[in-house]
Every structure is written in structure tokens, then in C-alpha cells.
Structure 1
Amino acid sequence: MSNSSRDTAEGAGWGSAERGTYRRLMPGGAEKVSWLDPRMLWAARNGVLASWFGDPTGRTRSRWTAQREAAGAPADKVIRRDDPDRFSFLVIGDTGEGGEPQYAVVPGLLNAGRDTRFAVLASDVIYPVGSAGDYGEKFFRPYADYPAPIYAIPGNHDWYEDLRGFMRVFCDDAPPLPPEQPPRPLTRAWLRSLLWHRPRPDDGRGLAEARKLRAAPAQQAVQPGPYWAIDAGPVRIVGIDTGLLGTLDAEQGAWLREVSRGPRPKILVAGSPLYVDGKHHPCPVEGGGTVDDVVRDPEHHYVAAIGGDIHNYQRYPVRLPDGRTIQYVVAGGGGAFTHATHTIPRVAVAGVTERDFRCYPLRGDSLAFYSALYGRRLRLRRFFTLTEAEAAAVVAERLGIGPTRPTDPAARVTRRVRLVAALLGTGRRPDRAKRIRLPVRKIYTQVFSPGSATYSPPFFKCFLRLDVGPEEIRLRCHAATGNRAQEVDPPVEDEVTIPLA
């Protein structure tokens, strides 16, 4: 197996390396998604409108699921497969930007996952607004050669056109919902409806042609709606739709509690993670309680909770008072711009410490990546750009942790290196957080990260492979850098064995 970023800088994708073959898969003239383009931000306005004027996704979701049940979808929303007691599947999060970072994942995914029984896309299948017309180049083309079915959970971006494209592709070409009664004038709902982004009438005209790219019978999957459960071998995989604002409506919450009952081991796949960036986000359910309450309940037998939305990899092994350990995983590195990991402070949450925590890219690689990016964009390369060794050294100093990659040469941490690390929001040790209050971390995550899409390696993308057996699951995070070496043999950046007993 090839070296990972934890072994060598070359394993992380740094240095002069042969570019991968992924560009041969890409269509000519692929449009690049720019989150600094005001037109793109305006098209993706529905999340902001929902937070200001009320979130309508619960009602819309209920209408979609009622329509699917009327069309014959199972009322319990459980997909029952015939997988054996030993099988494998993939999880890929936040895929659909359609550019080089997404396509760079594909060759390694096919090499490491060709024998898997199915794949799950976890959140944000299509950027920027989930349009049906974007599925050809952002779903059907990149995964044309993946031989098995693909199921999906929508993310907030898939909801920016009321889930219309998602339902057409994954739910048996579900017809449009009939129009609702217009809201009363001068109400919050009325203001929201005036500004709400909706799909174009002609959107998705090329969808029938795009479907031919994944037309083999073995590739077909029909799911009962935007949330579902899959009974596969000895486990049940429960997929939930967290909508525009990362919450569950009461109807889906009741379904989640019902489908979680019983002794069968379960894995949650969600549109947003429950632990991320060193914090707990339990995901509220309308009417009371949280998703994490359901996951932690010993009667429900969850062993892992995987969420997308944040575009990197993180893992938190949370040990519960009853002695069980649940693996909480962030898996959003499937193709969209990279969210920084160097902004994650020293981890101390729910009993999980830095010793237990894992992330990809490594914090030092994340800082080196961003320093080079903003050195180019601000035309201050000599000031901003840090070597991988300098970035790793200053991260270790600021967080009080040892070097993750011991093969890096010792680097001198100068005043310039410390200043760049501070400007780029490098996470701090908890004992220093109160002394230095720079607002850079929140601004960095919400403003700078979305402008971080690059089109040359290393990309620091990833996907998960889960090997399920009667007694345990082996979860591995595979890297995709965009370089040829990592395409041929995708390195394992993290691995954990999860007992099912």
C-alpha cells in the first residue's frame, strides 16, 4: 500500500509528482463553481431566506414522501437488499462541484471500491443549487464506471431548488409537486416566497441522455425518498435528510426513532455531522430531542454516525458512560472545495482528546495548502507561503502537539511563520484562547474556505470504504490527491475496526 500523508510529504501529494489520469474523464469546458461570484451566492440564497423567514423544508419534505408513498414506495422507507454477511460499501460526501477536485477522486475510488456492493453519497450531491441540469456532468459522468447502485442523502445545496433535481434522479423520476396555496400577503412566508429561488421550467431537459451513462441494470437504485434505511447484510444503514438548516422535522424524527429500534447494528449517514471541528452538534428534532439522543440510546445499537457538509475528514471515537464507543465521522471530502483543518483547535470534547482524534488533511498540510493559496491570490507569495515542514512545526507549537509526520525535516518557526499561522486562523490551545481573541476562525471558515477551490494537486480529497462482517466493520478513509501514485493505490489516511457486538 502506498505511503499516506502521515508517512511522507510525497504521500500527502507534495513535491513534483506525475499528475493523475482523472482529467481524461472530464468534459471539455467544465464550468468552475466560484463561491466568490455574487451571481452564485444569489442563486444559493434559500438557506439565508429560510433562516430569516422560516424554514419550509419540513413541509416540502413531507409532501415529497407522501407523493412517493402514493406511488408505491414502502411506507417504512426501508430498502431491503440481499447482501451477504460479508460485504463492502463506499461513502462519498459533498461531491458535486464538477471540477478537477471531484474527478480526481474517481480513479482511486474505482480502484479501491470496484468490488463494493453499493455507494452512498452523503450530502450536497450537486452544487451550487441542486439543478437537474447539472446531474449529467456532476453525477452521471464522474461515476459512469462505478458498477454498483448509488444511494444518496441530500445536503443543503440540493434543497436550494426544493429538492426537485434530487427527486428526479434518485426517486424514480418523481413528478413535480403541485403548487401550494399562496401565503397571506405581508407575512414572513409571503416575503420568503417573493425571494425564493426555484428551478427553471426547462431545467433537466438533458437528463434522459445523461442517464445513459449509468444505464446498466446493476447500477440502478430507487430509493423511497430523501431519507431512508438500507438493510444490508448484518447492519442497517439509516440515512437522514437534515435539509437547509441542519435540523429534522417532527415527521422524520418520529420515523428515525421507529426505524432505529431493534438489536440490529446501525450506522447513521446524515447531511451534517454530529461532531465537527472539536464541537458537538446534536442536530435538533422539531418537537423535542435530538438526533444524537437517538444515536446514543443503547436500545438502538448504533456503532457509527457519518455526516457530510464539512469538506474534509474527521473522526471522534466517543466513549459513552455504558462502555460503548460510537465512531462519529465527518466525511465531506468527495469533491467540493476543502474546508481547513488547521483551524480546528486542540480537541477536547466528549472525552475525545488529540490522542484519539483523526483528521485529513493533516493540520500542517492544511495550513501549507492555504498559505500557498492566499500567497497566490494576494500576490504575496514570499510572505504567505509556508513549506509543509514549517506549517507542521508551527501547528505543533500553537496546539502543543507532537509532529504527526515524523519524517518532516526540522523547521525553524520564525516570526513570519507564526504571523502567517495566526492570520490564517490556526487553531489554538485552549489555555491561550482567552488571551488572544482574533475573529479570524469564524470568518475563515465562512468566507475564506469557500474561495479555496484549486485546480492543481494536491487536492486533499477522500472517500470511505466500509468492510462489513458478522462481528465487526473496518472503516478506512482513502485519500485522493490528484497525483498518479495515489490514483493507482489510494493511501489509507485513517482506519478503525468497529465491533458489532
Structure 2
Amino acid sequence: MSAEESPDPGPENSRRSEAGAGWVCGKPGTFKDLLPERVADFSWRRPRVLWRSRNDVLARWFGDPSNAIRRRCVDALRERGTPAAFTVHRAEPEFSFVLLGDTGEGDRSQYAVVPPLLHAAGDTDFMIIASDVIYPAGDAAQYQDKFFRPYKDYPGPIYAVPGNHDWYDGLRGFLHVFCGLDTDCSPPPWRGVLSFLPRMLWRHSGDVDGDALAEARGRYRGAPGQQSLQPGPYWAIDTPSLRVIAVDTGITGVLDRAQGRWLREVSAGPKPKLLVTGKPLYVDDDHRPGRIEGGGTVDEIVQDPAHHYVAAIGGDIHNYQRYPLTTEAGRKIEYIVSGGGGAFMHGTHTIPRTRVVDEGEFRCYPLRGDSLSRYSKLYGRWLHLPKLFELTPQEATAAVEHRLGIKAGRGYEDPALSRRVRFVASLLGVPRDGRRRSRFLRFPVRKVPQRFRSELADWDDPPFFKSFLRLDVTESHLRIRCYAATGCGDHETAPPCEDEVTIALR
């Protein structure tokens, strides 16, 4: 197996110009015409939204019931007659598909992805959503405006792996829509001195209105070519050239024993394989191998040379990252984060200088400088201090290069770095590359959990810095391209290609 990075695919991407990044929009995006007449007011700054997502905190404090719930659901699927292999077979050796993660907020940033996706990948054979189909809590009632409606014009079937937010209703809405299973697989009772707390506070599944979902499906995605029924929350698509394997990581990222056993079985053999997972194995220059109940990890399976994995793609983190990692056995595996499909953006400017791979091989979108500039403008607006906080893309890029000791992507003439620019970069989380912080900034501001900085930093105007992947498979190669969705009308018919890699399968 080998991977060969292609040269920059064109002039109009963020690595070439600010216009390519979406900072300058010549015309507005047409995605606004796709929005419902009334878009629900959704914001992570609202206590009600956070309260509906409380199962995440309860699972981490009192124990994650996802494995127990999943076992009950899988038993119900098998009683219905679902094959034990949980595999869909396709006879074509050459095919293509589009993959995007963390889609379903139902607001402008989700719908902004749709026109460029249809132009760059509307001819693909199927779509995969990797994590968090519906925010904030997976409710079945929200599938109409956050799933069926936005992808009504995509002609192929759509498969999905659930994210932690899809699990906050016990996976009931997800299983109904994607697997045709309507059953309440409520968690078993917690045990222990404080078990009354999760029993009292746990957000249980709501009722599923099957007729309303059937009406939404028929209205928006009722064409024969759009129909699909996946075997379960984890599954495989087997083709003569490549086996695509998808795993369900629940709320906290742990696989149950049965799923771990299944993963080992479908990973066996010499056929090249690609993993899709709700949580990435490498992200933010950190290794998160994915624990399996009873022992072992997902990444041990991926890196085993006998299994012939060529790539592993995960959602959950809302941006694009790529780590071309060479394993101890000398094989190269592309570890990719693809969570920029519509939800709020996790900043890339908080990613340290990479040690997992050489910084020159690492790719991310948005560029760290663009990420820092976007966040600085948001904080300047919220705090009514634009003159203090707002950094131009050029200033932000210079600050990132100074603090990390890297070349941050788009080239600029080096401007003078003022104290203000350095202060804002430090305050908004750009790490230092091993240098000692000043006493004034000794408190680790950058270690404030990124999830809170990012979830509070959502916006509804371009540039959105969203992204999706197009994957083209032949008998000998897998080509992966990351396309940007900026929200600018200039980029809808010809979205910028931000990264590309071709992997040999033979």
C-alpha cells in the first residue's frame, strides 16, 4: 500500500487566497432558498439546548449505558431477521461515495453544504453520514428538517453511523429512520449509592410518530434510488475492491464486546478496508484508540497488517484533519477527521504543532490562521470590543506561525506582530510550541475545554468553513478529496478542493 499526495488542485482554495477561503464573497449563496420558511432558533448558548444534551454528562459521571442499549437493539434486529454479518454487498468494483460528519443542526451552516455537495458529489453512488445526524438530542421529530429536507435532491441512498448526540434519545429515532426498527431499548437501571441521580435525570426516548416520518420520507426522499435499509447501528459495505466498515462508538467512544468481535471478523482477510467511526482515532494531534469492552482497541485492529486497512475516517470533531501515519509495520494509513458537515466549527487554531506526524505532512481545514481570525471576529462582536479582538486573516496567520513555529498555510509577507495580536492569539487558545508562557498568561486559558469555546462560537454567515469528502474507488486506487463549503455563491458550483490523497489498493 502506498499513498501519494496530489499537488494543490487549483487556485481558488484557502491555501492560495483569502477569496478562496471565503473571506470575500462576490455573490450570496443560493442555499438560503433551501431553508424552511421558519428555521428553529438553535443555539448552544441556550440552557434548554444544553439540558436536552445532559445524557452526555450523566454517561461520563455514572457510566455509559450505550453498550447495554445497543445489545438490546441488535438482539431486536436479529430477531427480525437481520443477517449476523451486518453487511451490505455491492457487485461493482468501481464506485464513489460522499462522506460528511456532524450534520444536523438544521440551520444555515448545514444547508450551506448542500449546493456544493450536489455539484461536486451529486453523481456518487451513496452517501455516508459519520456521526451526529440530529442535534441536539437525536429526536425523531427533527428528521424532517435536519435530514430528509436538506438531502432531498441527493439521488442515492444514505447510510449513517450514530454520534453521541444521536444516542441522547436512546438511538430510537436513528434506528427507526435508518434500520426500520421502532423499539424502546431503554437502559438497565444504574446501581450504586448515587444511582438515583441518573435514574432521575436521564433523558429517555420520546415517542416516534411513524406516520409523520413516513410522510417526510415520501415527500423529500421518496424516489426508489434513494431508499436504503442498513443492517444496524454498525455495518459493512462489501465490494470487490474495498470493504467499508462502520462502527458505532456510543456516547463515550467504547465498543461493546459483541461489536468488537464483529469488527475483528469483518476486518479479517487481505481485501483493503476503510473504517468509518463516530469518533476519530487521531485528532488534534492526539491518539484516541477506541476502547473495546473486554480488552483491545479499535486502532489495534486497524493497524494489524493482516487486516489491510488503508484509511480510518471519523466524525465528532467539526473540522477536517488528515494524519498520514506510518505504522510500526511500515504501512501508511490515512487517519482523517471529517466532522465539518454542517454543525458549529471546532477551531483548528488550538491544534498544536503536530508530533503524531511531521507538521509538513499534516493537513487541516480551515487553516489555523483562518480559524483564529474567525473566532476573533466572533468574540469581538459578542464582547463589543472589535478593536481589541478582531484579527485579520493575515494577522491571525502571523500569530499562529509565531506561536507554533510553523508555516501556517497561505503565504503572506511577515507583518509586525503587535502585543494586541499576540495577546488575542494566546487568549483564544493558540498553544505555544514548547516555549514557556509569560507569568501573565501562566493560567492555561487554552486548556479551557474546546467543546465549550466552540459550541458557544456558532455563526450563520459566510465563511462557514464546512467540508465534505468525495471518495472514488477503482480496482487499484482510492482517491479522497476534501471539498470546502464556504457559503459563498462563488463556490457553490465549483467548490474549492482543500486536500487530496490517492491510495494504492493493490
For the aligned pair, the TM-score class normalised by the smaller chain equals over 0.9
> Could you tell me which of 83, 90, 93 is aligned with 1:85?
93
Offset, 1:192: 1.7
| 1:207 and 2:207 correspond | no
Residue identity matched to 1:369: R
| Aligned equivalent of 2:3 | none
In structure 2, distance between residues paired with 1:238 and 1:13: 34
SS at match of 1:75: coil
| Aligned equivalent of 2:7 | none
| 1:268 and 2:275 correspond | yes
In structure 1, distance between residues paired with 2:483 and 2:188: 48
> TM-score, length-normalised on structure 1?
0.95
| Aligned equivalent of 1:445 | 450
In structure 1, distance between residues paired with 2:349 and 2:146: 29
Deviations 1:267-321 (A, max 9, x none): 0000000000011111111111110000000010000000000000000000012
| 1:411 and 2:415 correspond | yes
| 1:176 and 2:162 correspond | no
SS at match of 1:11: helix
Residue identity matched to 2:323: Y
Once the two structures are superposed, the pairs formed by residues 89-104 of structure 1 within 5 Å of their partners are 89-104=97-112
> Could you tell me which of 339, 342, 349 is aligned with 2:349?
342
SS at match of 1:395: helix
| Aligned equivalent of 2:144 | 136
| Aligned equivalent of 2:203 | 197
| Aligned equivalent of 1:323 | 330
> Could you tell me which of 54, 66, 74 is aligned with 1:65?
74
In structure 1, distance between residues paired with 2:128 and 2:89: 15
Deviations 1:298-351 (A, max 9, x none): 0100000000000000000000122210000000000000000000110012xx
Once the two structures are superposed, the pairs formed by residues 1-400 of structure 1 within 5 Å of their partners are 3-82=12-91, 84-172=92-180, 174-177=181-184, 187-201=193-207, 206-212=212-218, 213-349=220-356, 352-400=357-405
In structure 2, distance between residues paired with 1:67 and 1:258: 21
Residue identity matched to 1:22: F
Contact residue 26 and residue 489 of structure 2 kept, 8 A = yes
In structure 2, distance between residues paired with 1:118 and 1:394: 41
Q: Which moved more, 1:203-212 or 1:108-117?
A: 203-212
| 1:471 and 2:479 correspond | no
Residue identity matched to 2:39: A
Offset, 1:189: 4.5
Q: Which moved more, 1:427-436 or 1:276-285?
A: 427-436
Distance 1:66 1:433, change over 3 A: farther
Offset, 1:206: 2.4
Once the two structures are superposed, the pairs formed by residues 480-491 of structure 1 within 5 Å of their partners are 480-491=485-496
Contact residue 124 and residue 309 of structure 1 kept, 8 A = yes
Offset, 1:179: 6.2
Deviations 1:123-182 (A, max 9, x none): 00000000000100000000000000100000000000000000010002x121366775
Contact residue 65 and residue 224 of structure 1 kept, 8 A = no
SS at match of 1:328: strand
Offset, 1:259: 0.9
Deviations 1:380-422 (A, max 9, x none): 011100001111111111111124112x454321111000101
In structure 2, distance between residues paired with 1:444 and 1:53: 20
Structure 2 unaligned regions, length at least 5: 1-9
Q: Which moved more, 1:457-466 or 1:53-62?
A: 53-62
In structure 2, distance between residues paired with 1:397 and 1:442: 19
SS at match of 1:211: helix
Q: Which moved more, 1:101-110 or 1:443-452?
A: 443-452
Offset, 1:497: 0.9
Q: How many residues align?
A: 495
Distance 1:195 1:416, change over 3 A: same
Offset, 1:193: 2.0
Structure 1 unaligned regions, length at least 5: none
Contact residue 131 and residue 204 of structure 1 kept, 8 A = no
In structure 2, distance between residues paired with 1:2 and 1:97: 31
Offset, 1:430: 2.7
Distance 1:432 1:354, change over 3 A: farther
In structure 2, distance between residues paired with 1:190 and 1:80: 46
In structure 2, distance between residues paired with 1:241 and 1:441: 30
In structure 2, distance between residues paired with 1:365 and 1:181: 46
SS at match of 1:489: coil
Distance 1:265 1:420, change over 3 A: same
In structure 2, distance between residues paired with 1:437 and 1:181: 45
In structure 2, distance between residues paired with 1:468 and 1:189: 49
SS at match of 1:238: strand
Offset, 1:485: 1.6
Distance 1:210 1:382, change over 3 A: same
Residue identity matched to 2:112: A
In structure 2, distance between residues paired with 1:336 and 1:469: 31
In structure 1, distance between residues paired with 2:113 and 2:481: 15
Residue identity matched to 2:430: T
SS at match of 1:353: coil
Contact residue 476 and residue 494 of structure 1 kept, 8 A = yes
Q: Which moved more, 1:447-456 or 1:118-127?
A: 447-456
Offset, 1:431: 4.1
Offset, 1:50: 1.1
Residue identity matched to 1:177: D
Distance 1:86 1:60, change over 3 A: same
Distance 1:378 1:219, change over 3 A: same
Residue identity matched to 2:26: A
Percent of matched pairs sharing the same residue: 55
Distance 1:433 1:418, change over 3 A: closer
Distance 1:124 1:183, change over 3 A: closer
| Aligned equivalent of 2:425 | 421
